[in-house]
Amino acid sequence: RDLVWQGAMAEFEAPWSNKTSAPVDEEVAPRVSEDGWTAPRREIFTDMDLRAFKSSDACNELVRFVRVLNESAMGKTIGDMSDPVSPSIHKVVTLLSELESWIAEIPPIEQPMRFGNRAFRDWHARLVERGPDLVKPLLQDGQKNASMELVPYLLDSFGNPTRIDYGTGHETTFISFLYCISKLGQLGPEDASAIVLCIFARYMRLMRALQTTYLLEPAGSHGVWGLDDYHCLPFLFGSAQLVDHSSIVPSTVHDDEEVNTRRTEYLYLDCIGAIKEMKTGAPFSETSPMLHSISQLPNWRKVNTGMLKLYDAEVLSKLPVIQHFLFGRLIPCTWRAADAVRPAAAATSSSSAPPSSSAVPAPDVPNLTQDDPNPTGSIHLTSL
């Protein structure tokens, strides 16, 4: 396990070195402070940039990180993390709890629009104001200046305050925030399960509160042809939890009583419960046909493998989603980004923009039923 984690963390053992995953073009590298930290910036503007990102060590290491987290959650419940966790895990959970406490202090306002309550902008403005102070306790004394890299990831983890929306791009930014903390050595391989079952589960609770309180618009949702309107990773991690479960099978999602009874322990069932609460008045097969089809798979290993493929295909490989990803020292850009299109790209619709047509076609997603030589999605040490 330690070897797997180290393979995911290129600088885990030496976060202060000038080492990066691959040589960075000095002409295009973002300006850095005297001690080497920089405010991360966008570097993906074109399909060519996206292809460079997908073939980069930075992308490969981030995917490794996700896969390690996925494997660490297999067969475990949220309740399994009731034992004392590391101080770093506790600090991140405390941060998320503080963010949720602001919701009661910043209630939604009366407005004519049904979605996108403008009070979310006040909530996010407080996040911007207090972001540096929230991040610094997560770092050691000699790392405090690294907050200039971490803060932008935190700010973009909960939705866009201009459009008042949220989607899988923001979710990926939060995972990147945790990845950066790990590269700084504040989270180690022994924390992998707790990252999913304590931190990410707490993040999901916060996001459900933000979504329902401020009625965040789904960012670029596929409508019924997606998993749900906002998320992807809880389905991945949640299906990992259920691998080889003795009684809960993929078709259990149709048993409302079982879903409601067990949802506090399993991320996947909690997502199903949230969808059924939000989308009433029609059968589950109509409101969520993709999840309905997945429920017919024979076991959770198949589901988990498919979810990992889907995350790569529908999040990391989609320009409208990943074009807002940020790069700095901890997640370096090692290609020459299309600088000539920077002004234009900033003006285009973002990953949070809704589709231009109300009739959204079914996306080209991986075949979740296709056999895979590595069905658990685990990483073999020999592959490192």
Tell me the mean pLDDT per 10 residues along the chain, length 384: 45 35 44 75 96 97 97 95 84 97 96 88 98 95 90 97 95 98 94 96 98 91 71 97 97 97 97 93 91 96 97 94 94 84 43 34 41 36 24
User: What's the pLDDT at 222?
Assistant: 59
Integer angstrom CA distances of residue 142 from 17, 134, 136, 235: 13, 16, 11, 37
pLDDT in tens, 122-144: 999 999 999 999 999 999 988 88
Rounded Cα distance, 100 and 314, in Å: 29
Rounded Cα distance, 176 and 194, in Å: 16
DSSP 368: T
State the pTM of this model.
0.83
Phi-psi region of 373 (alpha: psi -120 to 50; beta: other; left: phi over 0): alpha
Helices (H), the chain: 2-8, 47-54, 57-72, 87-105, 119-135, 147-155, 168-183, 192-194, 201-214, 233-241, 256-262, 267-278, 284-287, 289-294, 300-311, 319-322, 342-347
Rounded Cα distance, 347 and 338, in Å: 15
**Maximum pairwise Cα distance, the chain:** 59
Q: Helices 147-155 and 119-135 meet at what angle, rounded to 10?
A: 160
87 CA to centre of own chain: 22
User: What's the pLDDT at 273?
Assistant: 96
Half-sphere exposure of 153 (CA within 13 A, CB side): 25
pLDDT in tens, 351-376: 433 333 333 333 344 444 444 434 33
Rounded Cα distance, 276 and 279, in Å: 5
User: What's the pLDDT at 348?
Assistant: 35
239 CA to centre of own chain: 15
Rounded Cα distance, 350 and 159, in Å: 12
Rounded Cα distance, 202 and 267, in Å: 11
Rounded Cα distance, 172 and 149, in Å: 16
Rounded Cα distance, 2 and 260, in Å: 36
Q: Are 125 and 164 in contact (CB under 8 A)?
A: no
- Both tokens of 30, joined, read 């973002």
Q: Are 38 and 148 in contact (CB under 8 A)?
A: yes
Rounded Cα distance, 60 and 66, in Å: 10
Half-sphere exposure of 267 (CA within 13 A, CB side): 29
User: What's the pLDDT at 223?
Assistant: 55
